[in-house]
Amino acid sequence: MSGFAYVRAGSVEEASSAVRELGPDAKLLAGGQSLLPLVNLGLARPSALIDIGRVAGLAAVERDNGTLRAGALVRHRTLETSTLVAEAQPLLAAAIRHVGSPRVRNRGTLGGSLCHADPSAELPLAMAVVQADYEISDGSASRTVAASAFPLTFFTTALGEGEILTHVRVPVAPPDIGWGFREMTRRAGDFAIVAAAAVASCRDGLIETMRLGLAGVSDRPVRCDAFEAAASGTPVDRLAGLEEAVDAGIDPPSDTAATGAYRRRLARALGVRAAADACARAMGGTP
């Protein structure tokens, strides 16, 4: 591990100021579950670590005016065990159980995962599908970015100079909405080779609305627009016939974990299964 300076910030303002003063090679440190392994392996060489782990006001989860508002320092374990999260947005509660191992979930933070922006990660995918918004601050002014617009490409986000993700706003799911989450990993706790997340509403055996997203098939989470359009008005028992629409317009990469062709096949299978799970729950059943 190469040497680096260490700064402990006591507020968002202090952290933002430190980021600007120390330059682009300085990194924010929250739970450390994404950054520190990269530092230990020599894949990241920050000039400074700015510890925001004790910044006040960023570690709570609360229901606020029809949304679930979670601070960036909320631990994965808190989200995993929260009755409030499970009731307000069950897809998020389901996705969080697939993040890493218990050790990682005990230390890792919501903001850390979202800002790391791994294209195979579960939380950025779930946030895009439930149409969450991110609150971002530069210490003096704030702005809001849609979850789908936050990741720009591999490990790169829409954060500007000195900006910090402070909170996430997740819409509370209506009572008639069902959800589904599926993923394939090489080993338990690994990042997904492909993951699929879906939310749907149904009436009289027909799909009224469908949102389906995939991770692991592009440089960021993607929504399956062609599948969503084709599913609208389709009988639930005919979802399997829409398999080819799942991967329309995507070009999954090949790497040491899987070929692009294998990822495409996984995308079709997992996408349809996640969508079917969502429809089953929307109609009051069990997948």
Digit-coded pLDDT (tens) for 200-235: 999 999 999 999 999 999 999 999 999 999 999 999
Residues with Cβ within 8 Å of 120's Cβ and at least 6 positions away in sequence, in order, are 191, 192, 193, 194, 195, 215, 216
Arithmetic mean of pLDDT, 63-68: 91
Sheet holding 48-51, edge to edge: 5-8, 48-51, 26-29
Helix, coil or strand: residue 271: helix
pLDDT the model gives residue 173:
96
- Model confidence over 148-157: pLDDT tens digits? 999 999 999 9
Band of residue 190 on the pLDDT scale cut at 50, 70, 90: confident
For residues 159 and 119, what is the distance between their CA atoms, to the nearest angstrom?
16
Beta bridge mates, 203: 206
Task: Using a cut of 0.85, tell me whether the model's pTM lies above it.
Answer: yes
The answer to whether the CB of 74 falls within 8 A of the CB of 61 is: yes
For residues 200 and 231, what is the distance between their CA atoms, to the nearest angstrom?
10
Residue 27 amino acid letter: K
Token pair recorded at residue 41 = 């392996």
HSE-up of residue 244 (Cα within 13 Å, Cβ side) = 1
pLDDT the model gives residue 187:
86
Measured CA to CA in angstroms, residue 226 lies from 173, 255, 260 at distances of 23, 26, 20
Arithmetic mean of pLDDT, 42-55: 93
pLDDT the model gives residue 46:
93
Residue 134 scores a pLDDT above 80: yes
Phi and psi dihedrals of 264, rounded to 5? -65, -40
Residue 125 scores a pLDDT above 90: yes
pLDDT the model gives residue 188:
82
Q: Which of 96, 73, 98 is nearest to 85 (CA)?
A: 96
For residues 86 and 70, what is the distance between their CA atoms, to the nearest angstrom?
13
Q: Tokens 């609208």 map to which residue? A: 232
- Model confidence over 251-272: pLDDT tens digits? 999 999 999 999 999 999 999 9
pLDDT the model gives residue 189:
79
- Model confidence over 3-12: pLDDT tens digits? 899 999 999 9
**Above pLDDT 70, what percent of the chain?**
100
pLDDT the model gives residue 275:
98
The more confident residue out of 68 and 1 is 68
For residues 88 and 103, what is the distance between their CA atoms, to the nearest angstrom?
25
pLDDT the model gives residue 70:
97
- Model confidence over 79-96: pLDDT tens digits? 999 999 999 999 999 999
For residues 112 and 165, what is the distance between their CA atoms, to the nearest angstrom?
9
Structural domains for the chain: 5-51 (3.30.43.10), 61-171 (3.30.465.10), 180-282 (3.30.390.50)
Arithmetic mean of pLDDT, 91-109: 95
**Above pLDDT 90, what percent of the chain?**
90
pLDDT the model gives residue 24:
87
Band of residue 41 on the pLDDT scale cut at 50, 70, 90: confident
